Amino acid sequence: MTTIQTTVREARKDDLSALIAMFAADDMGGHGDTVAAEALPDYLRAFEIIAASPDQTLFVCERAGEVVGTFQTMIGTSLTGRGSSAMIIEAVQTRADMRGQGIGALMIEWAIAEAKGRGIRLVQLTSNAKRRDAHRFYERLGFKPSHLGFKMALK
């Protein structure tokens, strides 16, 4: 049996087309992502903001030279928990044709190991309420559905 190496690395600007395509293919997300050329400046601006932030990192999961997944981490420090920090994992996406191959678990486990290595107290994430399969996936990885989240769209 041949094992294809899968790695996690920080995203580069030249990964954007693959990332945009993954997000645009997500019918359930409802974020309005699109591969239309006129949207590219919006994605480039967001990439630059994330890349410039010491508290945010965009990652890709790569297999055989192709981007097959992505996630973003954000570190926040609060006075609660005696001034401890938490890692928020966002924008977790595995390319549709690669789901069920352990890529999502690899990405989440990688993020958890990174948080532990940095002495972070808590790792948390949110998931669209419609994504029942994702909820089971996160629970299998040890996450607990402990809070109810709220959102307010501003534009």
Query: Where do the domains of the chain lie, and which CATH numbers do they carry?
Result: 6-140 (3.40.630.30)
- Quote the CA–CA distance of 21 and 25 in Å, as a whole number: 6
Q: Are 55 and 41 in contact (CB under 8 A)?
A: no
- pTM comes to 0.90
Facing residues of 71 across strands?
59
Only one residue has tokens 């395509």, namely 21
CB atoms within 10 A of CB 135: 15
Residue pLDDT tens, the chain, 155 long: 556 789 999 999 999 999 999 999 887 666 788 899 999 999 999 999 999 999 999 999 999 999 999 999 999 999 988 999 999 999 999 998 998 899 999 999 999 999 999 999 999 998 888 888 888 989 999 999 888 888 888 97
